[in-house]
Amino acid sequence: MIDFKKIEISDKPWVDELLAFSDFKGAEYCFTNLFIWDEVYHSKIARYKDFLLLTSGSGEETKYLYPAGKGDIREAIEFLEADAAERGVPFTLIGITAETKPVIEELMPGAFSFEAVRNSFDYIYESEKLITLSGKKLQPKRNHLNNFLKLEGWSYEDITKENLNECIEYTNAWCKINGCGENLSLMWECCAVNKALAHFFELGLKGGLIRLDGKIIAYTVGEAISSDTVIVHIEKAEADIRGSYQAINNQFIQRLAPGYKFVNREDDAGDEGLRKAKESYYPAFMLEKFYASKI
């Protein structure tokens, strides 16, 4: 069996190196996401030659991430398959995209069945569009943004050691107001967000916040995920302040995204409200995800 281990912050350098070899845009291929969500998804990692291996779940729900790295991908997949056989669990690969699905089909024809997982599709936007909000479709977003920018007393600042604790306090207050204690998914999210903030600088994250009359009313966190894409992990704002979400999104992307073509705003996890909000920004494309199950 593969000796999978708990994901620790000290693993970041070697994991980042292997992820860079593949240069994938998917949210699964980001150390921050693997690290902050590991307890929720029961994820563990291992290295096989120059490939990153990851397993999540347990028992019949065990799944393996399509390996990221360089080398003989068929060998890496067969290595994972052998692990599943030893554990006596079905062999299922996750994180399969339109880019990697044909690779599997060519190397192992007829060996897998594929199932699209809509709730896991990542929303990918053009950086320039999120910065300029140009075009008729995004006119409502511009209107909300311009309304906010006209307010007196607002200011933007990068997240630093001096204001990081304020973001943590804001998160906990937001969680309490939104009933995280009664909503398991919100509670998980809050735990992941707090873990990201607790290791903000070790993870190499970038962030920004907006104050209104000195009080934080929005903040966001992201980083580069590939050579042409940045990813937004966290975005929180006061929904009752018109334009606050549009403002924190726009102000942050202006600073994070120059030099990058795309922005990955991750999936909607099947939440209808979140899906509607992300679709309203009109993504350049959806990064489709598939499960590949051994036949």
pLDDT score, position 135: 96
35: its two tokens: 């690290």
How far apart CA 33 and CA 35 sit, in angstroms, is 5
- Could you tell me which of 41, 87, 86 has the C-alpha nearest to residue 65? 41
How far apart CA 19 and CA 30 sit, in angstroms, is 7
Residue numbers in the chain where pLDDT is lower than 50 = none
72's CB contacts (< 8 A; 6+ apart) are: none
For residue 55, give the 3-state DSSP assignment: strand
DSSP 8-state secondary structure symbol assigned to residue 29: S
**Cα dihedral sign, 250-201-163-278:** positive
Q: For the chain, which domains are there?
A: 5-121 (3.40.630.30), 123-266 (3.40.630.30)
pLDDT score, position 260: 98
Report whether 109 contacts 90 (CB < 8 A).
no
pLDDT score, position 180: 85
How far apart CA 190 and CA 234 sit, in angstroms, is 10
For residue 159, give the 3-state DSSP assignment: coil
- Could you tell me which of 175, 170, 276, 185 has the C-alpha nearest to residue 219? 170
Angle between helices 184-198 and 164-177 (to 10 degrees): 180
Q: Where are the beta strands (DSSP E) in the chain?
A: 5-6, 44-48, 51-56, 63-65, 68-69, 92-96, 112-116, 122-126, 154-158, 206-212, 215-224, 229-237, 262-264, 285-287, 290-294
How far apart CA 237 and CA 281 sit, in angstroms, is 17
- Could you tell me which of 8, 26, 15 has the C-alpha nearest to residue 288? 26
Amino acid at 168: I
How far apart CA 42 and CA 40 sit, in angstroms, is 6
pLDDT score, position 182: 86
Distance between terminal CA atoms of the chain? Answer: 21
> pTM to 2 decimals?
0.96
How far apart CA 94 and CA 98 sit, in angstroms, is 12
17's CB contacts (< 8 A; 6+ apart) are: none
Report whether 219 contacts 169 (CB < 8 A).
no
CA triple 170-175-181, angle to 5 deg = 150
- Could you tell me which of 34, 26, 37, 31 has the C-alpha nearest to residue 13? 31
DSSP 8-state secondary structure symbol assigned to residue 216: E
pLDDT score, position 286: 98
